[in-house]
Each structure stands twice: as structure tokens, then as C-alpha cells.
Amino acid sequence: MSKQTEAINHTATVAGLAGMIFAGLGFFPLPYGYYLFLRPTLVVICVLLALCAMVKRTYSVLLPLACIAVLFVSVKGLPKAVWAMLDLATAVSLVVITHKIVSAKPESTESS
């Protein structure tokens, strides 16, 4: 495994764990700073992971990821329970993306 691939794998794993932590926090009453800083940070992590997935040629996760990111950026005034479900969906997406990035082969022999 090359150093670059190993670095991507570690980054994806850390980002996935961070996403799960952020999603878990969504179930508790939190100060406004969470919604102002941590949720946009989670969207940025999603975008970075999507770029990693594109590099590793795992495209199947990009559409749900994009949908969730759009929801985070555009929808306002939702009840906390709905936001918590969106956080949880994002965490699941992060775990799936992380798994796909870690388990993907660096060089794909298939041409699509």
C-alpha cells in the first residue's frame, strides 16, 4: 500500500469517526455554536470524502452524499428531531464512504 493511499485511508477513517460524533451530538440540546460551526464542518468533511471517493473511483456514494449536503446547506427551520435524523443519515453515509475508500483497490483494472 502506497503512502498516499494509506494517508487517504487514515483521513477517511478519522473523518468518518468525526461524522459519527457530530451526528451523535445532534440528539442532544446544544448551544448555537454547534449549528453555526460544527454542522458546516460536517458538510465540508462530506465534500472532502466525496472527492476522495472520486479519486478512488467509488462513485456509488456520491448521489446520496450530495443530497444530504444540499439538505444541510439549504433547509432551515426544521424541528430538532428532523435535524437529528439528517445528522444520523450523514453519519451512515460517512461510514459507508469510509468503508468504500478503505476497501477500494488503488488501481482499478476495469474501464467504465
Instruction: Write phi, then psi, for 48 (nearest 5 degrees).
Output: -60, -40
- Is the pLDDT at 103 greater than 70? The verdict is yes
- Grid cell in block for residue 8: 487517504
Residues 6+ apart with CB under 8 A from 69: 43, 46, 47
Residue 96 is predicted with a pLDDT of 73
Q: What angle do CA 41, 43, 47 make, to 5 degrees?
A: 115
- Is the pLDDT at 112 greater than 50? The verdict is no
- Is the pLDDT at 110 greater than 60? The verdict is no
What digits encode the pLDDT tens for the residues 9-68?
Answer: 666 666 666 665 665 555 556 666 666 666 666 666 666 666 666 666 655 555 556 556
